[in-house]
Every structure is written in C-alpha cells, then in structure tokens.
Structure 1
Amino acid sequence: MSDGRRLGWIGTGNMGGPMAARLCAAGHPVTICGSGRRDLSAYAEETGARLAHSPKEVAEQADILFTMIPNGEILLDIISGENGLDSADLNGKILVDMSTVDPASSEEAARRMAAHGGHLLRAPVTGSTHFAKNGTLGIMVSGEQDVFETCLPYLKVLGNRQTYLGDGEQARYMKIIINMMLAQALQSFSEGLVLGEKLGLPWETMIDLIGDSAAAAPIMQYKADTMKRRDFTPTSTCYNMHKDMKMAMALAQQVNASLPAASLTMQLYNTLMAMGLRDKDNTAILLANERLNALDQSEG
C-alpha cells in the first residue's frame, strides 16, 4: 500500500510498462508519461496511473521518479530538454534510472539532478519482459546509500533481488559487464549450433542437449523454445545488445583492458546491424554466424 510518497514513471515500453503497472497494482499513486509520442491513455486507464504529458508534469506530481528508457541521450533530454524535469522544482526529489545507459551520461545526469537539489539513483536491472511482469528482476543499485534505502520498498515491488554496489557508477559498470558476458554466451551458443548444423545433428535435440549440459548458461535454457522455432521476435533487441557491447568496449579502452573474446563478439554484432537485423531478438546473432558459414539463415 501507499506510504504517502507520490511516484512518477517515464518510459512505458516493453520493460517499463509492466514495471510501472506493478507499482500501480501495489497501491502506489503513479503518474506516467512516455519517452516518445505513443498514446498512453489506454495504458493509464488499464493500470490506474495518472497520465502526464511531459517530464516536467511528472516531476510536479511525484516525489520519486523512475525512468526506463533506451539510452543516455534520452535520459539527459528527460532531465534538461523542453519541459524536462529541471523545469520543475526538483529539490529533495529522487530520479531512479533503471535503464542501461553509459556511465558518462549517468554521471552528467547525476550532476544535473544535484544542481537542482535532487538525487540520481542508478538501478539497472537483469531480466527480460517476463521477469519485469512477475517482479523477479535483479536490480543493481549505486548512488547515495540513504537514497537507496528510501527507494528500497519500491525496488522490492519491481524485483526480488536488490544489491547495493557503491555511491557512484558501480551499478552501470556491473550491468555492462553482465550484458557483455551475455552477448558472448549467445555467440558461444551460436557457434556450437553452427558446428552441429554442419555435422548434420538434429536441430531441436542439439538445443536440448546443450541446455542440459554444464556448458549451458541460463540464457540458453530460457531461449531454447524460441531457438528451436527459429523465432527471433524480440524480448531484447540486437540494437540493445550492440549498444551494450559498444559501452563495454569503451570501458575496456578507458582502463586499458584486453578483451579478445568480447572484441570478436562485437564484430558479430556489427555484422548483425549491417544485415539489417537491429530489431530482431539478440539471439539473431545465430544468423550472422550462419552467414559466415554459408548456412541457411531463414527464420521460423
């Protein structure tokens, strides 16, 4: 039930939509607006959220604001763009950004919020739309610890695991590392499937056996059914994975870290983008591997 604090939510897409809905269902007053131009009137009616038409309007009606948006550029525009958050009084207000954005944009967002007396809590998540709907996301958090404690009751509605990592950009770093490893797991999965294809192994049996082996990352088990059907309907897109890999490689360059396997995976996601598959599921890296091996690249 509500504790008297008013909540705001900006970005009600595939992930943000079910997350904001959970806060509404838990009895919290939530004011929403989109990060784009999509009509959210039906969503507001369905969830019981109050509909606003700009970040400024959300900030005027909320004490704690959440964002779930595609990238750091949009985050900064939400804060300082036309009718942005900083057009309202932000003194004492908290912005909880749950997106996967680059650390430089995150640092700038924190500076902008602080300049107006507000606070930024970094809270990126692990898990896809299924976990968002069920409230079983993992949430990595960094920022001021007292701000984290204030927001923890709401984060517990959104996920079943919350880990505080420090007072700066640590949550961003950890999220990027995890996504980098996820991309490499999908690349490894694809290479195994391609070799099996060339050896004439049965497609569905191969996927079952990989998923039942010590070599299986959880993502391979989670994606088994869609991979059997060669269904690349996105839960998280190639565009998003490509973006995350670029952030990982930029961080590696900053600290002079050598990441040979990640560098190769980056090339494969570059190939996917060149193939025009940016809006397919990130498992479509299989198609780039099949192209390299002159195999059928059809979808289910």
Structure 2
Amino acid sequence: MKVALLGTGLLGEAVAERLHAAGHSLSVYNRSVEKTHALRQRGIRIAPTASAAMSKAQVVLLLLADAAAIHAVLFDPCTSAEINGRMVIQMGTIGPSESRSIDAEVTRLGGRYLEAPVLGSITEAKAGTLLIMVGGMPEYYAEWTPLLQILGADVRLIGPVGKAAVMKLALNQLIATEMAAFALSFGLIREGGVDRDTFMDILRKSALYAPMFDKKLPRLAKRQYEQPNFSTRHLLKDVDLFLAAAEQARLSTDGLQGVRSLLTDTIAHGLGEVDYSALYERVDPEEGHNR
C-alpha cells in the first residue's frame, strides 16, 4: 500500500519504521528535515513537501504534534488539493472539538477521515503492540483496520469522530497524575530512608500497582531522563487539552491543576524535552538545588 506519513517525531519515526518493515511503500514528510535522516538511511523516501508525500498515496497518516501543526501542514494551500479522494488518519493527541473540525475540513475538500490516537510509545510502535482507539464511520474503520493492525493488535472503534479523542485524553490524564503520585511517594521513601526494594515489593503486590511505576523506576533512581518515550512538553500539552475538555463537561479539575503546575515548573527548569518522569526533579530535587 502507498502511505504518506506526515510528522516524524518520536512516535512518527517508529511508526514509519514499522510500516516500512511490513513492506508498505512509504513517503514521509517532516517540517524539520534533520529529523528524517535516520529514516532516509533505512531506505524510506523523504518527500520535500507534504503535497509531494501525498501525491501518490492511498492514505495519509498524521503524526504531527498538535492541531495547529495539522492545520499548518495539511491545509496549506499547496497541500489541501491532495486531500481529495484520500483517506486521512489522524493518530496524534488532539482535542475532540479539534478532531471534529479537521474531519469537517477534510470532508469539505473531498477526503475521508478517521481519528486513531494510540496508547503506547516507541517500543510498542516498533513491535506493533500499540493500543489504537478509532473514531469515525464504521465502514471506514472496517476498511482501514488491516493497516492499523500492523501497528497494534488491539484496534477498537470507540464511536464517531471525537469519541476516540476523548478516550485518549482520559488515558493521558492518568499518565500525568500517576507519574506525579509515584514521584511523590518515591521521594518520601528516599528522604525517609526506607528501603526502595521493600517499598516496590509491597506496591507490586497491592491493588495500587501500575506497570508504569516499574517502567519509570530506573529513571527516578538514577535521575536520568534522556532519550524520552514521551516528553514533559508533550504531556503538558495533553493535560491542557484534557482540562479544556473537562471544563466543557463541567468537571472539577482542582487535583489536575496541581499536576499541571508541577509540569510547567519542570519545563521552566529546562526539562521540557526529556522524559516526563523528570517531574521528579521538582518533587524531590537533589541536595544543593532550590526546593
């Protein structure tokens, strides 16, 4: 299948590698061309423009940072003409109203649209084990599930466009709050001189345990946050999207507002591009750092 992929951030690059390995004909575009060098070395075609990437594709995968980036790339006057007759699958994290707006514009331009945000990151994308939530028309879902199953064995239709976006925000809110809670408990264990292994052993045997705790434990223990699977900056973006959706739903977000402040403080200290577990540095700074 001929696939255009727009956006080669951490997830986009991994998705491109997976589809290329599966034998699909891939044409990739990214606004920052330096982020495409590794894919070029793997034999993947790098297009000079988004319209060039889309010109011969049957389907367009969007793995761009946010809705603003989607509008800038996909609806550029030189690109939008290529939407006609093509399926556009949006796989990033955006708000439900943003997704519905993009759907309306794609449809107006003669294209078809699915939202398909994912749960998982680089490792899962390369292994084809992403959890993929789809929003859109059932017939579109049925037609494009075989392609999405290359990236994830669990591909679920959540409902019309916007519903999968809601599901994704609900899950990413848990990423932020669980990480903040684990960092706080871990900090108290360290400061209180309690054995870390004993703490983790009891936690694993309890109903409180989440696998993410073990995944992030080495980063917190070594205070090493390089080579992120998901950056602090992108998690803050998703928290803001959740807050906007929750406000419309008239939900209380007082607890999440505290987590948001923690994320903004982490970014202000130069940790926006590293792994989001770096928020631990603001929960429990090393000796000699300002608390």
Partner of 1:178: 171
How far apart, CA to CA, are the structure 2 residues paired with 1:163 and 1:39? Answer: 31
Normalization by structure 2: what TM-score?
Answer: 0.92
1:22 to 7, 18, 23: 18
The number of equivalent residue pairs is: 288
- Shift of the 297–13 alpha-carbon distance from structure 1 to 2, 3 Å rule, reads farther
Worse-superposed segment, 141-150 or 209-218: 209-218
Deviations 1:34-62 (A, max 9, x none): 1423263552341x433311111122110
Compute the displacement of 1:87 (Å): 3.1
Identity percentage of aligned residues: 25
Give the counterpart letter for 1:33 in structure 2: Y
1:245 to 215, 219, 239: 239
- Shift of the 136–82 alpha-carbon distance from structure 1 to 2, 3 Å rule, reads same
**Within the alignment, does 1:115 sit opposite 2:108 as a pair?**
yes
Contact residue 95 and residue 120 of structure 1 kept, 8 A: yes
Partner of 2:28: 32
Give the counterpart letter for 1:296 in structure 2: E
Compute the displacement of 1:203 (Å): 4.2
- Shift of the 83–36 alpha-carbon distance from structure 1 to 2, 3 Å rule, reads farther
Worse-superposed segment, 204-213 or 221-230: 204-213
Higher RCO (Cα < 8 Å, 6 or more apart): 2
Aligned-residue CA RMSD (Å): 2.0
Contact residue 238 and residue 277 of structure 1 kept, 8 A: yes
2:287 to 276, 296, 300: 296
* 5+ long unaligned stretches in structure 1: none
Deviations 1:157-205 (A, max 9, x none): 0112111011120111111110101111011101111221221123455
- Shift of the 35–216 alpha-carbon distance from structure 1 to 2, 3 Å rule, reads farther
Partner of 2:125: 132
Contact residue 117 and residue 134 of structure 2 kept, 8 A: yes
What are the residue-to-residue correspondences of 1:160-239 with 2, within 5 Å? 160-203=153-196, 205-207=198-200, 209-233=202-226, 234-239=228-233
Contact residue 9 and residue 35 of structure 2 kept, 8 A: no
Deviations 1:72-126 (A, max 9, x none): 1111112112532x132x3321111111122333222112211111012100100
Partner of 2:280: 286
Structure 2 SS opposite 1:7:
strand
How far apart, CA to CA, are the structure 2 residues paired with 1:195 and 1:262? Answer: 21
Partner of 2:266: 272
Structure 2 SS opposite 1:38:
helix
* 5+ long unaligned stretches in structure 2: none
How far apart, CA to CA, are the structure 2 residues paired with 1:209 and 1:100? Answer: 34
How far apart, CA to CA, are the structure 2 residues paired with 1:83 and 1:39? Answer: 22
Give the counterpart letter for 2:56 in structure 1: Q
1:51 to 31, 46, 53: 46
Normalization by structure 1: what TM-score?
Answer: 0.89
